[in-house]
Amino acid sequence: MNEELDSQLSAMFDDELPAAECELLARRLSRDEALKARWSRYAVIGAVIRAERGVVLQSVVADRVNAALTKEPRFADTAEARGLHGWVRLAAGAGLAAGVAAVSILWLRMEAPGAQPGQMTVASTAAPAPASAAPRAADSFVVPPLARHQPMMMIPPTQLADYVVAHSAYSWPISRGSLLSSLMVSDPGTLSPSAAAAQRAPRSHGNATHASR
Amino acid sequence: MRPTLRARDCLGALALALILCGAAGAAEPTQWLARMNRALTTLDYEGTFAHWQGGRVEMLRIIHRVEHGVVCERLTSLDGSGREFIRRGSDLTVYLPDKKVVLVEHMLPKSSLLGGIPVINAETAHFYRIRKVAHMRIDQHDTRLITVMPKDAYRYGYRLWIDRGGMPLKIQLWDTRHGGEVIEQIAFASLTVRSHIPDSAFAPGLSTAGYRWLRNDAPAPKAGDASAWGALWLPPGFHMAMRASQSMPGTPGQVDHLVYTDGLASVSVFVERKAAASTSGTPATESARMGASYVFSTFVQGHRVTAVGEVPARTVRSIADSVRDQSPAYPSLPGPFAHPPRP
C-alpha cells in the first residue's frame, strides 16, 4: 500500500479527509481487501483509545490490539470500532464533511461480509447455513408459508416477536432495552428450521444445579 | 504510656477507617447499579442511542415516562425497519411496518412484574464480580464505569458507564469466554431527563391503514396460573421468578410462560400445549439469535417448548431441553439433562 493511500486512510479515520475524497476512498475500501484490513487496524486501535481512555488496558484488550496489528482482526472488532466512530461523531454533532464520512462508513458496514441488514442472525442446530439462505419472512401469522424442500417452520415470525416482547417484560432493565432494540432492528422472520436429526449440544458433567420443585 | 495509648488509638482509628472504607468501597458498585435501576424505571426521559450488534449499527429513540405509577414507553427505529414498540401500562404494542403487522400483547400488572425479579443483592455476588473500575467522561458527562462480569460461562457480563443521575450512557454486553468479546453495545447520543412528557409523545408515528392487527383480548395473565411444567436443569444461581398461563396472539390455546433469573440475566420458557407440528411425527428443533439473545425451540412430550434469553446459546438450549411436565401424568420421564452441560 502506498504512503499516500495510507495517509488518506488515516485522515479519513480522523475525520480530516474532505468529503469528496472520503467518498472516493470509501468506494475503494469496499472492493480492496488489503485496504479494508488496514482500515480494520485503525478501527481497532481507535476504538480502544476512545472507549478506554483513562483506563489501564487490561492484558486481554492489549493482546487483542496487538493481534489486530499483526493479523487480520475479527469482523466484530472492526464493526464495533466503526460503531463507536459513528456514535462519537453523532454525539459531537459534527459538520457536513463529517456527516458524509459517517454515511460512507455506515454504507461500508452494510456492505461488509457478515453484516446483513434486515436479517436476524440464524443458527441452525443441524447444519449452520448462511442467513441469506433462510426462507423469507412469513407475512401471514396464521398459516406461515412453507418454502419448497424445507421442513415446516415451527415458529411464525410474528409469534417469535411476541415471545421476545413477552420475555422482555421480565428482564433486567438493561437487558430489556437490549432485547427490544434488537427486536426493532432484527428481522424475526428468518428463524431457520432444522431437521429432526439435529444433534444435541455436547454434554458432560459440570457443576450445575437442579431446580427443585 | 501516653505515646503508646496514642499509637493504639491511632491504630484503632485507622483500622476502623479501613473497615469503613472497605465496606463503602465494596458496596458502592452495587449502589450504582441500584441507582441505575431506579433511574431507568422511575425517571421521565427521552434520548437517542446507537445500538451496535453483530456488525450493524442502528439509531433508536426511546421515550420513557412514569405517571401515577403507569409506565409509558416508546422505542422507535430511526434508520432501520421503522418499527415501533409502545407500552402503556400493561399493554404492549409492536408495530412492524415491514410486515404490515401490529402485535398487541398484555403483560402482568406492574406490581407482579418487576416485583418478581430479584434485585441485585449479596447472592448476585456469588455469580458476578461487580466492580467500579474507573471515573470516566463520556460526551462531557462524568460517569462511573461499573463492570459486572460473570464467574462462569452460563451468562454474559456487562460494562456500564453510569452518570451521576443513574442513567447508563453506554452499555456493553460481554461474552467473557474465549478471552472476552463485546457482543452488543448501546451508547446514547443524547439523553434528556424531563419533568413532563405529554401523552402525544406515545402516539405511533406511522399510519396503520391496511395493517393486520394481532391482538390478545384475553385478560392479562395471572402469576402462578400455570401447569406443572418446569426446567429440571438450571445454571447455578438461576431460579424460577414467575410462572403464568396466558393467551398469546396467534397461538391457539394457552401458553405457559415460565421465567428463570439469576437476578440479572433471565430466560423465559414458553410451553405451547399440543402444538400442531407435534403430530407430524418429526419433532424438530430450531434456534435463532436476535441481537444478543438466543431463541431455542424444541418439542417435549408433544408440546412445543421455546426458550428465549439474553444468555449464551448453550444456556438457553440446555434449559429448554430439560423442560418437562412434572404433573403426575409424567412422573418419571428420563431427561437428557442427567449430565448438565459444561460451559
Where in chain A are the domains?
3-111, 136-185
The per-residue pLDDT for B123 is: 77
Is the distance from CB of A138 to CB of B101 less than 8 angstroms? no
Contacts of B171 in chain A (CB under 8 A): 174, 177-178
Res A2: pLDDT = 62
Contact B105 A180 (CB under 8 A): no
Give the Cα separation of A161 and A176 in Å (integer).
Answer: 14
Of B16-20, B175-179, B316-320, the poorest mean pLDDT is in: B16-20
- Calculate the average pLDDT of chain B: 78
Interface contact flag, B308 A164, Cβ < 8 Å = yes
CB atoms within 10 A of CB A172: 25
Which residues from B are below 8 Å from A201, CB to CB? 314, 317-318, 321, 341
Q: Give domain B218-338's CATH superfamily.
A: MucB/RseB, C-terminal domain (3.30.200.100)
Q: Which grid coordinates belong to B245?
A: 398461563
A169 interfaces chain B, CB cutoff of 8 Å: yes
Q: Taking CB atoms and an 8 Å cutoff, what residues of chain B touch A82?
A: 57
- Which of A181, A192, A200 should be substituted to probe chain B, the one whose Cβ sees the most B Cβ atoms within 10 Å? A181
Residues 6+ apart with CB under 8 A from A19: A96, A97, A100, A101
HEC per residue, chain A: CCHHHHHHHHHHHCCCCCHHHHHHHHHHHHHCHHHHHHHHHHHHHHHHHHHCCCCCCCHHHHHHHHHHHHCCCCHHHHHHHHHHHHHHHHHHCCCHHHHHHHHHHHHHHHHCCCCCCCCCCECCCCCCCCHHHCCCCCCCCCCCCCCCCCCCCCCCHHHHHHHHHHHHCCCCHHHHHHHHHHHHHCCCCCCEECCCCCCCCCCCCCCCEECCC
Asked if B186's CB is within 8 angstroms of A178's CB, the reply is yes
A80, B158: Cβ pair inside 8 Å?
no
Banded model confidence at residue B124, pLDDT cuts 50, 70, 90 = confident
**Predicted confidence (pLDDT) at residue B111 exceeds the cutoff of 50:** no
What percent of chain A clears pLDDT 70, i.e. is strictly above it?
A: 18
The reply to whether residue A158 touches residue B261, judged by beta carbons under 8 angstroms, is no
Whether residue A108 lies within 8 A of chain B, CB to CB, comes out as no
| Structure confidence by residue, pLDDT tens digits, B254-273 | 788 899 998 889 999 999 87
CB contact, 8 Å: B75 with chain A? yes
User: In this complex, is the C-beta atom of A164 within 8 Å of any C-beta atom belonging to chain B?
Assistant: yes
pLDDT tier at A205, thresholds 50, 70, 90: very low
- At residue B171, φ and ψ (nearest 5 deg) are -135, 130
User: pLDDT confidence of A6, banded at 50, 70, 90?
Assistant: low
State the best of A60, A124, A163, A194 to mutate against chain B, taking most chain B CBs within 10 Å. A163
Chain B closest CA to A210's CA: distance in Å? Answer: 5
Q: Which residue has the higher pLDDT, A4 or B49?
A: B49
Rounded CA separation B61/B80 (Å): 12
Nearest to B234 among A141, A171, A209 (CB): A209
Which three cell numbers mark B120?
A: 441485585
Q: Please tell me which residue of chain A has the smallest CA distance to B139.
A: A91
Torsion of CA B254, B255, B256, B262, to 10 degrees: -150
Q: How much is the ipTM here?
A: 0.75
CA distance B179 to A63: 10
pLDDT, chain A, mean:
46
Q: B200-204 — which CB contacts under 8 Å span 24+ positions?
A: B201/B46, B201/B63, B201/B65, B201/B74, B202/B63, B202/B65, B202/B72, B202/B73, B202/B74, B202/B86, B202/B88, B204/B84, B204/B86, B204/B93, B204/B95
Determine contact: B184 vs chain A, CB below 8 A: yes
A residues 3..22 contacting B (CB < 8 A): none
Q: What residue type is B151 in one-letter code?
A: K
Out of B103, B189, B266, the one facing A162 most closely (by C-beta) is B103
pLDDT at residue A94, as a whole number: 28
Q: How much is the pLDDT for B246?
A: 76
H-helix or E-strand spanning residue B169: strand B168-175
Note whether A36 contacts B: Cβ–Cβ < 8 A.
no
DSSP secondary structure letters along B32-71: HHHHHHHHHHH--EEEEEEEEETTEEEEEEEEEEEETTEE
Does pTM top 0.90 for this prediction? no
> In terms of CA atoms, which chain A residue is nearest residue B306?
A163
pLDDT in tens, A148-187: 333 334 566 677 777 888 888 777 777 777 777 777 766 5
Whether residue B284 and residue A152 make contact (CB cut-off 8 A), yes or no, is yes
Q: What is the pLDDT of residue A109?
A: 26
Angle (nearest 5°) at CA B46 between A51 and B193: 90
The answer to whether residues A22 and A11 touch, using CB atoms and an 8 Å cutoff, is no
The cell for B221 is 395473565
Residues 134-163 of chain B whose Cβ lies under 8 A from any Cβ of chain A: 134-137, 139, 145, 158, 160
Query: Of B52, B266, B304, which is closest to A170 when you measure between CB atoms?
Result: B266
According to the CATH classification, is domain B40-202 in 2.50.20.10?
A: yes
**Residue predicted with more confidence, A212 or B257:** B257
